[in-house]
Amino acid sequence: MAFRWAILGAGNIAGKFADAVMRADGCVLSAVASRSMERAEAFARRHGIPAAYGDYAEMLQHARPDAVYIATLPGSHAALTRLCVAHGVPVLCEKAMFMSSAEAEAVLGYARERGIFAMEAMWSRFLPAVREMKRQLDAGGIGSPCFAEFALGWRTPDHPGSRFFDAAQGGGAACDLMVYGYELAEYFFGPPEETRQVAVTWGPSGVDETEAILLRWPAKGEQPPLLAVLTASITANLDERAVIAGPGGTFRMPKPHMAKGFTCMLPDGTETEWHDLQTINGFVYEVEEVVRCVQAGLLESPVVPHALTIRCARLFDAINAAKPER
């Protein structure tokens, strides 16, 4: 029998997810819910979804899907994840799944208690280019890394009501972009030391517009210590990239959150390239991961575990703690 997905929130990214479900093996879209019935119906028509609801809870009660994708803004993720768990429905929730560690610990703890699967939709961790760069790194392709950089930033729309500048809805560089830098850094190197340096600039709407984070990993056996600089901005077009450097070479990956390939430059200047020629919609991999985990009876994904989401939320705590009193 097909795995039945439902979507909460009929906005921008929900459309890309709907396309991914259609491409994933053994999956169908069974329902969509929006705060607006009109928007839900229009979305359902566009994507050939059989049921549309103008209320999230009503959908959960009546459609009883195998999993829900939460495609709303971070300000509502904690409450909606809780709502799905209360209805016994597994959750894949858009990034940033939570805005603070208090939210993350409480809601993920509740999901575990109730025995319901929950995962942050950190799709980048499943991309073939990201996985291949990690494989080459672990195989010693550049030796032990000593420095890394993750930069993500673009000049986001700044019209009145723009989600990027709405603090209550999870606007700001941390929830929108730093989440990728941090969760990718951990993908390559594991959890960093708890102490870190944080520098943030705050905009007039009260959101973190630009920030730089310095993370460290201590020396381990033969491995030297590692430093990583993570930058994110919603007001500046950064040269979006991941760079990992070691004594034997340097990996460079443009736009690592939506990676399509990377290069490896050796100390003598020789460069090799790796390109992902298979991916059409990169959300397919996270869709397949949820199906695999739910069918195996897991409560969390080994690729995007709860502890990762909680540690990232702790970084948000540190960024928010840097906010000056007004």
Task: Note the residues at the interface with ligand NAP (CB under 6 A).
Answer: 9-13, 34-36, 39, 71-74, 76, 94-95, 121, 123, 163, 169, 176
Smallest gap from Cβ 247 to ligand NAP, in A, equals 34
Smallest gap from Cβ 179 to ligand NAP, in A, equals 8
Query: Exposed (0-12), middle (13-18) or buried (19+): which is 194, by Cβ within 10 Å?
Result: exposed
**For the chain, what's the residue count?**
326
- Residue 215, SS3? strand
Q: Using CB atoms, what's the residue nearest to ligand NAP?
A: 11
**CA dihedral for 84, 37, 35, 293, sign (positive or negative):** positive
Smallest gap from Cβ 156 to ligand NAP, in A, equals 10
Q: Pairing relation of β-strands 91-93 and 147-153?
A: unpaired
Closer CB to ligand NAP, residue 12 or residue 270? 12
Smallest gap from Cβ 9 to ligand NAP, in A, equals 4
Smallest gap from Cβ 52 to ligand NAP, in A, equals 11
Closer CB to ligand NAP, residue 9 or residue 246? 9
Closer CB to ligand NAP, residue 141 or residue 255? 255
Closer CB to ligand NAP, residue 176 or residue 288? 176
For residues 262 and 251, give the distance between their C-alpha atoms in angstroms, rounded to a whole number. Answer: 7
Non-local (6+) Cβ contacts of 161 within 8 A are none
Closer CB to ligand NAP, residue 83 or residue 137? 83
**CA dihedral for 77, 95, 148, 202, sign (positive or negative):** negative
Closer CB to ligand NAP, residue 224 or residue 254? 254
Q: Is 287:68 a contact under the CB 8 Å cutoff? A: no
DSSP state of 139: T
Smallest gap from Cβ 325 to ligand NAP, in A, equals 26
